[in-house]
C-alpha cells in the first residue's frame, strides 16, 4: 500500500505521542515535531506507511533519547490481556464455532494500538462488541479450509497485549489441523509492537515457534527481513497477517495471506470499502511470478 497525503498528519501525531510518553518537556516535543516536519518534504509517497513510520520513530527516539518509550505500557497491556485469558478460554469452550470466535477475538485484540489516533473504548467493551458483531469482510470459510490442508502456518504478530488474543487463535488453529505454526515478532522495540520478550511473557513459546523478523519496522517489510524469516515466509502454506501495519506492508506482496485487522483510519477504510472500527478477515489471492508463488 502506498502512503497517502492523509497519512502525513498521522505521522506527526504519532511522533508527538511518543515524545509525550517519555517527557513532559514541551521544548522536546517541539523539537520532535520540527524534525519530523523537516523530513516530510523528502519522504517518497511511494513508500508504504510503515516504511515512513520507521524513519519517523527512529528520528523521534534519537531526539528523546529513549528507544522504547512505551515499554511500561506494553507490560501493562500484556498483563491486562493475560487477566482476561481464563474468561476468554471459557467463551471459546462454550462457542458453537470456537475457531470463528477466536478469529473475532484476535481482531478485537488489534484495538490495543498506540500508533494511529484510534480509540474504541476499554478492552472489555471491545471484546463484547466483537463477539456480538459480524466481520465486515468475512473470508472465514476459506481460512478454515486452508488451515485444514496446511503443513506450515506463519502467523505475523502485531502489538503487545494483542498477542494474548493471538495465542487464543493459535491454540484453536492447533485444534483445527496438524500444521507447524511459527509466530513472528519485531526484532527491536517500535511503538507498542511485540518483541521476543513480549511473546515469552505471555507464553507464546509454549504453543508455537517464536522468531523475530529481523526488522524494527512497525510491520513486515520483506526487504528488511532476515534470511530465516524470508525462508519461513516463502515456505508457508498459509500466512496470517495481524494488524493494519502488516496489511499496509504486505498488501502488494505474494503469498497465501489472510489479513486479520481492525480498520483504524479513513484511508484503509476506503481501500476495504469499510468503516473505521470494522473487523476484517480478508483473503488475498496469490500473485504468480515466473510460474511460482
The residue ranges of every structural domain in the chain are: 7-64, 71-284
pLDDT single digits (tens) 22-31:
999 999 999 9
Rounded distance between C-alpha atoms, residue 151 and residue 236, angstroms: 8
Q: What per-residue confidence (pLDDT) applies to 290?
A: 46
Q: What per-residue confidence (pLDDT) applies to 221?
A: 97
Q: What per-residue confidence (pLDDT) applies to 113?
A: 62
Q: Check if the beta carbon of residue 120 is closer than 8 Å to that of residue 111.
A: yes
- Look up the CATH number of domain 7-64: 1.10.8
- The DSSP string of the chain is -PPPTTHHHHHHHHHHHHHHHH---HHHHHHHHHHHHHHGGG--TTS-HHHHHHHHHHHHHHHHT-S-TTHHHHHHHHHHHHHHHHHHHHHHHH-SSHHHHHHHHHHHHTT--SSSS---S-HHHHHHHHHHS--SEE-HHHHHHHHHT-SEEEEE--BTTHHHHHHHHHHHHHHH---EEEEEEBSS--TTB-BHHHHHHTTGGGTSEEEE-S--SSS--GGGS-HHHHHHHHH-SEEEEESHHHHHHHTTS-S-EEEEEE--SHHHHHHHT--TT-EEEEEEPPPPBTTB-
Tens-digit pLDDT string for the chain (293 aa):
999 999 999 999 999 999 999 999 999 999 999 999 999 998 888 999 999 999 999 999 999 999 999 999 999 999 989 998 999 999 999 999 999 999 999 998 888 765 555 444 566 776 777 777 889 999 999 999 999 989 999 999 999 999 999 999 999 999 988 899 999 999 999 999 999 999 999 999 999 999 999 999 999 999 999 999 999 999 999 999 999 999 999 999 989 999 999 999 999 999 999 999 999 999 986 564 444 44
Q: What per-residue confidence (pLDDT) applies to 292?
A: 46
**CB neighbourhood size of 164 (10 A):** 27
Q: Check if the beta carbon of residue 254 is closer than 8 Å to that of residue 230.
A: no
Name the one residue in this structure whose C-alpha cell is 497491556: 77
pLDDT single digits (tens) 111-144:
876 555 544 456 677 677 777 788 999 999 999 9
Q: Check if the beta carbon of residue 171 is closer than 8 Å to that of residue 207.
A: yes
Q: What per-residue confidence (pLDDT) applies to 178?
A: 86
Q: What per-residue confidence (pLDDT) applies to 153?
A: 98
First to last CA, the chain: 20
Give the largest Cα separation in the chain, rounded: 57
Q: Residues with Cβ < 8 Å from 224, sequence gap 6 or more? A: 213, 214, 215, 217
Task: Kindly report the backbone phi and psi dihedral angles of residue 113, in degrees, each rounded to the nearest multiple of 5, phi listed first.
Answer: -150, 130
What is the pTM (predicted TM-score) of this model?
0.93
Q: Check if the beta carbon of residue 276 is closer than 8 Å to that of residue 10.
A: no
Domain 71-284 has CATH 3.40.50.2000: no
Q: How many residues does the chain have?
A: 293
Amino acid at each position: 500500500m502506498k502512503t497517502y497525503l492523509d497519512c502525513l498528519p498521522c505521522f506527526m501525531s504519532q511522533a508527538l505521542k511518543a515524545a509525550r510518553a517519555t517527557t513532559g518537556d514541551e521544548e522536546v516535543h517541539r523539537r520532535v515535531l520540527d524534525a519530523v516536519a523537516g523530513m516530510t518534504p523528502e519522504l517518497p509517497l511511494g513508500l508504504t506507511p510503515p516504511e515512513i513510520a520507521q524513519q519517523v520513530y527512529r528520528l523521534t527516539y534519537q531526539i528523546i533519547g529513549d528507544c522504547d518509550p512505551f515499554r511500561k505500557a506494553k507490560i501493562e497491556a500484556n498483563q491486562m490481556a493475560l487477566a482476561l485469558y481464563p474468561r476468554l478460554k471459557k467463551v471459546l469452550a462454550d462457542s458453537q464455532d470456537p475457531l470463528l470466535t477466536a478469529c473475532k477475538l484476535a481482531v478485537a485484540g488489534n484495538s490495543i494500538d498506540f500508533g494511529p489516533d484510534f480509540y474504541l473504548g476499554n478492552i472489555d467493551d471491545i471484546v463484547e462488541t466483537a463477539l456480538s458483531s459480524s466481520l465486515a469482510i468475512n473470508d472465514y470459510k476459506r481460512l478454515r479450509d486452508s488451515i485444514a490442508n496446511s503443513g506450515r502456518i506463519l502467523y505475523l504478530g502485531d502489538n503487545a497485549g494483542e498477542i494474548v488474543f493471538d495465542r487464543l487463535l493459535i491454540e484453536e488453529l492447533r485444534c483445527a489441523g496438524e500444521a507447524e505454526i511459527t509466530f513472528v515478532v519485531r526484532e527491536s522495540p517500535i511503538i507498542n509492537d511485540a518483541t521476543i520478550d513480549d511473546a515469552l511473557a505471555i507464553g507464546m513459546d509454549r504453543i508455537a515457534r517464536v522468531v523475530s523478523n529481523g526488522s524494527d519496522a512497525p510491520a513486515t517489510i520483506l526487504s528488511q527481513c532476515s534470511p530465516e524469516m524470508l525462508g519461513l515466509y516463502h515456505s508457508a502454506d498459509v500466512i496470517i497477517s495481524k494488524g493494519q501495519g502488516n496489511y499496509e506492508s504486505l498488501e502488494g506482496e505474494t503469498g497465501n495471506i489472510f489479513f486479520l485487522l481492525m480498520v483504524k483510519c479513513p484511508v484503509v477504510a476506503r481501500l476495504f470499502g469499510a468503516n473505521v472500527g470494522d473487523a476484517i478477515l480478508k483473503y488475498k489471492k496469490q500473485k504468480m511470478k515466473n510460474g511460482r508463488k
